[in-house]
Amino acid sequence: MPIISNKGINMPESPIRKLVPYAEAAHKQGKNVYYLNIGQPDIKTPQVALDAVKNHNLETIAYSRSEGSETYRVKIAEYYKRNSINVSHSDIIVTTGGSEALLFTFGSIMDKDDEIIIPEPFYANYNGFSIASGVKVVPVISKIEDNFALPAIEEFEKLITPKTKAILICNPGNPTGYLYSKEEIKQLAAIVKKHDLFLIADEVYREFVYDGIEHYSILQEPGLEENAIIIDSVSKRYSMCGARIGYLVSKNKEFIKTALKFAQARLSPPTLAQIASEAALDTPQSYFDDVKEEYVKRRNTLITELEKIEGVKVAKPNGAFYCIAELPVKNTDDFAKWLLESFEYNNDTVMVAPAAGFYSTPGVGLNQIRIAYVLNEESLIIAVKILEEALKVYKD
């Protein structure tokens, strides 16, 4: 029999998607499943984006430029300038989702066995991207007791070796919802400049920041132009996950030149999705104001309900639409499967994402789950009630 690659064998399953067969089986049993496991917003995509696709007058859906259409990149640059990030369209490469932007970045700045430092827990696919690129993730653990704040900068310094090429953060964070402060960004900027590293910031949740706190981008930090790389996406900002449009942004010309070669190898990002995404940039601010207000209500409802459950510890997020909760169980992988296979409350059950998959350190996060508060308040209250009742009867 032909042999599968070690890279393929070591590629991790998605902690978010691997339970889907169990959810499908629960549906076949007649159960209603509340999905708290995946960051698919129920917010409506801006009408201006939908109309742009419906009303296009293309007669041929042709390749676009490998770096994305110029008109789209010019409008992206204007969007950044409105957010106090001064970049040109030539500093931007449009990608097939933020995922491809990360893969291009890894391929452009790291070789096999190079290292990247990432505060964990982190977006689970960072593990997959690193394995696909032959890169080693070096984790620095943030703690629920500290609300997942940036670990002490000394902890980063201890981990830097000649193989270290970059530090990667998600700001605001998936899966924690933590929003890095301006001071924390400055600390990271100082260490990457000191050691001549890249600082990569996944900023796809930039619009979703709460409690009057402002997002501070790494490209707002003076003197970081050669070190900073932004990963971005339309998926969550405009509730356009299926468009699969992202982009990478950097003022480092050598990096952009290198990443463009990866973009050329895959030809171009999708044409119709770029049309929708370009139009989405005309979305009025009122859309984001309403969405933020809705997510704040959902977050507050979720945290309030979770804190009522005995033995549950939860970190309060200041951004994105996720939180990490610690449960009084030994292994949330087993618990999550049991919820779908063996439990129902009023014929309902709930699907959660076990948090161990958001760590790369073995044995960490086994009693935690990530919750995406992408359901309406009423559904969140019901879902947490299901969780509470399940914990009363679950036996490890």
Across 343-371, average pLDDT: 95
pLDDT, residue 160, reads: 98
DSSP state of 346: T
pLDDT, residue 273, reads: 97
For 30-77, the pLDDT digits (tens) are 999 999 988 888 889 999 999 999 999 999 999 999 999 999 999 999
CATH number of the structural domain spanning residue 243: 3.40.640.10
pLDDT greater than 80 at residue 250: yes
Within a domain: residue 374? Answer: yes
- Indicate the average pLDDT of the chain: 95
pLDDT greater than 90 at residue 274: yes
pLDDT greater than 90 at residue 270: yes
Within a domain: residue 26? Answer: yes
Within a domain: residue 1? Answer: no
pLDDT, residue 39, reads: 82
Structural domains in the chain (count): 2
Within a domain: residue 227? Answer: yes
Question: What b/e string do you get for 95-122 counting C-beta neighbours within 10 Å, with b at 16 or more?
Answer: bbbbbbbbbbbbbbbbeeebbbbbbbbb
Residue type, 320: A
pLDDT, residue 42, reads: 86
Which value, to the nearest 10 degrees, does the dihedral of the CA atoms of residues 144, 148, 149, 154 take? Answer: 80
Same domain, 54 and 99: yes
Same domain, 118 and 193: yes
Same domain, 203 and 307: no
Q: How far is CA 221 from CA 216, 285, 289, in A?
A: 8, 25, 26
d(CA 105, CA 255): 8
pLDDT-wise least confident of 11-15, 250-254, 391-395: 11-15
Q: What is the CA radius of gyration of the chain?
A: 21
- Number of Cβ atoms within 10 Å of the Cβ of 145: 10
Same domain, 140 and 118: yes
Same domain, 239 and 212: yes
Same domain, 270 and 209: yes
Same domain, 268 and 301: no
pLDDT, residue 396, reads: 83
Within a domain: residue 259? Answer: yes
- Domain interval for residue 15: 6-44+286-393
Within a domain: residue 81? Answer: yes
Same domain, 233 and 296: no
pLDDT, residue 378, reads: 96
For 362-384, the pLDDT digits (tens) are 999 999 999 999 999 999 999 99
Residue 296 pLDDT class (50, 70, 90 cuts): very high
pLDDT greater than 90 at residue 12: no
Out of 280, 305, 325, pick the residue that ends a domain.
280
CATH number of the structural domain spanning residue 15: 3.90.1150.10
pLDDT over 90, % of the chain = 92
pLDDT greater than 80 at residue 137: yes
d(CA 89, CA 194): 29
Residue 11 pLDDT class (50, 70, 90 cuts): confident
DSSP state of 14: P
pLDDT, residue 251, reads: 98
Within a domain: residue 232? Answer: yes
Same domain, 356 and 232: no
Q: How far is CA 26 from CA 31, 39, 88, 347, 396, in A?
A: 6, 21, 50, 10, 21
pLDDT over 70, % of the chain = 100
pLDDT greater than 90 at residue 170: yes
Same domain, 139 and 174: yes
Out of 280, 314, 332, pick the residue that ends a domain.
280
For 191-209, the pLDDT digits (tens) are 999 999 999 999 999 999 9
Across 90-104, average pLDDT: 97
Within a domain: residue 152? Answer: yes
pLDDT, residue 45, reads: 96
Out of 229, 259, 280, pick the residue that ends a domain.
280
Same domain, 332 and 352: yes
Same domain, 269 and 301: no
pLDDT greater than 80 at residue 17: no
